[in-house]
Each structure stands twice: as C-alpha cells, then as structure tokens.
Amino acid sequence: MSKIINVDIKQFSYNQKTILENISFSVDKGEFIVITGLSGCGKTSLLRLLNGLIPTLYEGNMTGEINILDRSISDYKAGEIAKYVGNVFQNPNDQFFSKDVENEVALIGENMGMERCMLHTQVENAIKETGIEDLKTKNVRELSGGQKQKVAIASTLVFDGEIILLDEPSANLDYKSTNELGRILEHLKACGKTIIIVEHRLSYLLPLVDRLILLKDGKIEGIFLSKDLTYEMEYKNELRTFNNNNLKAIMKAPDDNQLVKIEEVYVSNKGYSLPETVNFNLNRGECMALIGDNGIGKTTLAKQLTGLIPLRKGYTSYGKTVKDRLSNVAISLQNCSNMFFCETVEKELIPKDKLKDGQYLEEVKRYLIKMDLWDKRMLNPHDLSGGEKQRLAVILALIKESKLVILDEPTAGLDYRRMKLVAEVISEKIINTPVILITHDIELIFKVCNTAYMLSKSGNRKIVIRGNEDKILGFFKKDDIKYRIN
C-alpha cells in the first residue's frame, strides 16, 4: 500500500507554548487511524495541522513537514485541500452555512466551482451513501445530533476525496446514533477511504481501527495495532473502554431512607406526551440513571421536576408549586453555556451573599481543585473548553443546597480521567442528596449509578443496575423488547 499521508512534526507551538513535539507517522491508503489521549494532549491541534486549518484559520508555528498525497501541505492553495480531504467537526453546527440539507451538502462543490451537472450527481450520491434521502429538504438546524453528523459526512463525499478527518464526532451523540455513525464509517472504510478520527469514545470503533495513535503531553506515547488494544493497555493509559460488554456496575444499592417521591407525573411539552405516567422514589445514597431514546422526554421530565416548565399532572414530594421546585432542585443543563452569567468562573460560583462564608468558600475551592478547574477560576466561563464548561456546570448544581440534583449529559465528550472526576463528585453528593443522571454514557452509568429508570413509549420501569448490566445494555441496543418492559 502507498503512503497517502506522511507526518514529521519537529515542533508545533502557540503563544510560545509547545503543543506538539516529535510527531512522526505515516498512513497507508485505506487505513483507519484513531488518535486518542487525555484532553489537552494535542489531538485537535494535530488534526488541524493535517487539514490545513492551521495556519489558515488558527495561529501557531510549526517546524517539520506534512505531506498529503505526495504534496507538502504548504503547497496547497487556500481551500484547495478541501477537494482531497473531508472534515467532520465535533459540533457540526460549526461547519453549516446553508438552511436545508441538500444545499449544505452541495455547498463545498459550489464553493470550489464544480460543474453543475456533476455537482448534482455527486450530491445525490453522497446523500444516498449516508442514508439521508429523507432529510434532503429538512432544516439542518432542526436535525438531531446524529442526523447532523450524517450531513457533515455527506458533504465530505461530494468531491469523492480519498481522506476523511473527524474530530470527536460521537461527543454529542446518543448510543443509537453513535452506532449508526460506526456503520457509516464501516461503509466508507469498505469503499477504500482513508479515515483519521480523533476520539475519546472507542468501543464503537474497535471493529474498524487498523492502528491507534496514543498522544500524551504533545508526544506520541505509542502506536498500537488493533490486536494490541487490550484491557491492560486501556487501563494503563486511562482510556475509555474498548468494549462496553466488559463493563460491570460497581455501586451498591442505596439505603432504605426515602428522600424524594415522584407520583403520576405526566411528561408533556409542546404537543408531545409520553403515554405512561412516571412514578419512582429516590433514597439516600441513590444516583438514578434516566435513560431512553432521544426525544422520548428525558429532558422534558427533568425540566418539569425542576420547575423550568409546569407540571400538567403529578406530585413531587419536595414542592407543590413551580417556585418550590425551582428552589429545591439543582440542575445542570445539557447546553450548559446558557447557565453562565458572570465574567469569571469564580464569580459564577460565589454569589454576593456567600463572599464572607468561609465554609462555602472552602467548598468552592475544593470543587475547583477536584474538577481540575482551579487554574481557570479567573477566566470567563464562555472562554472555557466544552469539557471545562460541563464540569463548571456540574459544580454549580452540586454546590447548591437542594433536595434533588439533576445532571443532563454531564460527561459528553469527556475523556476517562475527567469522566471519573465527575463520577467521584456525584458519589460524594448522594451521601445526603439523591441525583438523577440523564446520560447515554454507559461507562458513567456503571461507575456511579445504582438504579436506572427506563423511559419507553411501551412503558416505564425502574431497576437496580448491579447484576442487571445486560438489561441496561439491551435497553440501549433495543435488541429485545423484554429489556424495555415486562
């Protein structure tokens, strides 16, 4: 096989700080390469060097050489490399400029002057290859996360380039959409595409990967063949699991001290309703996973329980009114940027009435250190990375005095180390306050949850997780109706 990419980076630096050093590898035509490592190790910077976004859009100084298709990347004209290298970003919204799906897929061809008849054919082929024929006329901003990623991938196929680069494409996807993404990548690999993907979540990629490049502190820690991706290698390098089926729940059952009771809550909002009402109790020491398909009503239920939207029907033991529920529940929203209003992280966490509360200030300091945000405390929350924003939102929810905490997708896109930090602070919180965890992160569920409430249009059910791992996995996979309801 011929080498389609050759990388020999002596050093890459930004603002006099070394980001990458001694990065050397080559990629064969048709290879499937995964680049992984803890957050901040340089993965995204490496990808931006490969696709030419550095220095075109992002600043930095590189010594060394990168060759794509036997040409130095510096020899490509501005925008030219897009003919040969397709890009899929972590957040597809960052690369969308058209209103509807068909025009978005066609945009790159239009920008590069592709002949109209050929463009029409290529767009039709790209849409068919990714299975999004039914989305052609849809507004791209109204699509689900999984659908948006399919559109982004389709746009990379218009020029039928040989190389596709993806930056954490599963970060905001649910379990089903992640597996659908895996099937699309499998098809593209079978078509001979060369694929390089930066990713934390690895289990869906295991059947596809030819080699895994592990970065650590800006350097290559190792390059591993698929046969070398063992549990020992995963554990040693603090990587996300290679195989969800090997996971086991570790949390013991909660005690019998009931703290929260939810009865006959009718999940409904904007014309949607879940057929069966929601009923469950939460005890001291309990973290309950709230799981179900995208769109089933998990976030709607969370907002009803919190008081952000009214209850049409039902009872919550901690508050009869919207005001009571808002006062007694702390929530971390999935789109956590909407939670931040102050100019620094520190001010976000310390309201004026707590400025002289020594015990509260010590608790804030403990959380910031624990969640690896102490050095970021004087930054504007909106200048934090996505993962840092999520951890700040979790702190805001956990530090509030409340009778119930609800966390909505707190670990999307987090590496194993930061996911573990989130799990640890949740474990501390449930000693006195129960937590509802809305998540598709199976590793997090098995690490910190002791019960799960499964929402389904065919019925709702609560089970203990430990000893029922196969039922949780089966519910996510939807392999068997018995996992959803007796």
Q: Which residues, at least 6 apart from 160, have a Cβ–Cβ distance to it below 8 Å?
A: 122
Q: Is the pLDDT of residue 197 over 70?
A: yes
pLDDT band with cut points at 50, 70 and 90 for residue 235: very high
48, 482, 443: which is closest to 242 by C-alpha?
Answer: 443
Q: Is residue 451 part of a domain?
A: yes
Residue 252 forms part of a structural domain: no
**What's the pTM value of the predicted model, to 2 decimals?**
0.87
**Residue pair 398/331 in contact by the 8 Å Cβ criterion:** no
Shared domain check, 411 and 373:
yes
Confidence of residue 15 (pLDDT cuts 50, 70, 90): confident
Radius of gyration of the CA atoms of the chain, in A = 24
Domain boundary among 222, 246, 270: 246
What tokens appear for 476 in the block?
């996510």
pLDDT > 70? residue 484: no
Residue 408 · residue 432 · CB < 8 Å: no
Pick from 215, 246, 277: which residue ends a domain? Answer: 246
Instruction: Give the pLDDT confidence of 413-447 residue by residue, as tens digits.
Output: 889 999 999 999 999 999 999 999 999 999 999 99
Spatial distance between the Cα atoms of 242 and 252, rounded to a whole number of angstroms: 25
Is residue 279 domain-shared with residue 176, that is, in the same domain? no
DSSP assignment of 391-438: HHHHHHHHHS--SEEEEESTTTT--HHHHHHHHHHHHHHTTTS-EEEE
pLDDT value at position 111?
Answer: 83
Give me 25's structure tokens: 């590898």
8-state DSSP, 252: P
Provide mean pLDDT across the span 145-153. Answer: 85
Mean pLDDT computed over 180-204:
93
- DSSP readout, 216-251? ETTEEEEEEEGGG--HHHHHHTTPPPS-GGG----P
User: How confident is residue 27, by pLDDT bands cut at 50, 70 and 90?
Assistant: very high
From 226, 246, 266, give the residue that closes a domain.
246
216 within domain boundaries: yes
198 and 329 in a single domain? The answer is: no
Long-range Cβ contacts of 339-345 (<8 Å, 24+ apart):
339/393, 339/396, 340/381, 340/382, 340/389, 340/392, 342/381, 343/380, 344/377, 344/378, 344/379, 344/380, 344/381, 345/373, 345/376, 345/377, 345/378, 345/379, 345/380, 345/381, 345/384, 345/392
38 and 159 co-located in one domain: yes
What's the order of all strands across the beta sheet hosting 61-68? Answer: 17-28, 3-14, 61-68, 71-72
Output the DSSP codes for 95-116: G--SSBHHHHHHHHHHHTT--H
Q: What pLDDT, on a 0 to 100 scale, did the predictor assign at position 172?
A: 77
136 with 45, same domain: the answer is yes
Same domain, 116 and 206: yes
Domain range enclosing 52 = 3-246
How many C-beta neighbours within 10 Å does residue 256 have? 8
Asked whether residue 102 is assigned to any structural domain, the reply reads yes
Please write the tens of the pLDDT for every residue from 363-399. 999 999 999 999 999 999 998 888 889 999 999 999 9
Q: Kindly report the length of the chain.
A: 486
- Count CB atoms within 10 A of the CB of residue 232: 8
Does residue 7 sit within a domain?
yes
Residues 41-54: tens digit of each pLDDT: 999 999 999 998 89
Kindly report, residue by residue over 186-196, the tens digit of the pLDDT: 999 999 999 99
* pLDDT mean over 123-151: 88
**pLDDT at res. 477:** 83
Which two tokens mark 313?
């029907």
**Coil, helix or strand for 86?**
strand
Co-location of 241 and 264 in the same domain = no
One domain, residues 229 and 281: no
Residues 34 and 144 both lie in one domain: yes
The mean predicted confidence, pLDDT, of the chain is 91
Residue pLDDT, tens place only, 260-299: 999 999 998 888 889 999 999 999 999 999 999 877 889 8
Domains of the chain: total: 2
Q: pLDDT tens-digit profile of 66-106?
A: 999 999 999 998 788 888 998 888 777 878 889 999 999 99
> Which residues, including other chains, have CB under 8 Å from residue 449's CB and lie 6 or more apart?
249, 251, 287, 288, 289, 437, 465
Q: Are residues 373 and 454 in the same domain?
A: yes
| Per-residue confidence (pLDDT) for residue 47, from 0 to 100 | 93
Q: How confident is the model at residue 482 (pLDDT cuts 50, 70, 90)?
A: very low
Q: Which helix (H) or strand (E) holds 305?
A: helix 298-306
Q: What distance in Å separates the CA atoms of residue 358 and residue 375, rounded to the nearest whole number?
A: 20
Are 468 and 360 members of one domain?
A: yes
Question: Is there a domain that residue 253 lies in?
Answer: no
The yes-or-no verdict on residue 481 having pLDDT over 50 is no
Does residue 251 lie in a domain region? Answer: no
Is 66 inside any structural domain? yes
Name 11's Cβ contacts closer than 8 Å, sequence gap at least 6.
18, 20, 21, 22, 62, 63, 64
Cα–Cα distance, 449 to 466 (Å, whole number):
9
pLDDT at 486 over 50: no
What per-residue confidence (pLDDT) applies to 305?
Answer: 96
Residue 176: pLDDT band (50, 70, 90) is confident
Q: Is the pLDDT assigned to residue 319 strictly greater than 60? A: yes
Residue 284's CATH number: 3.40.50.300
Structure tokens at 54: 């550095």
Does 296 share its domain with 165?
Answer: no
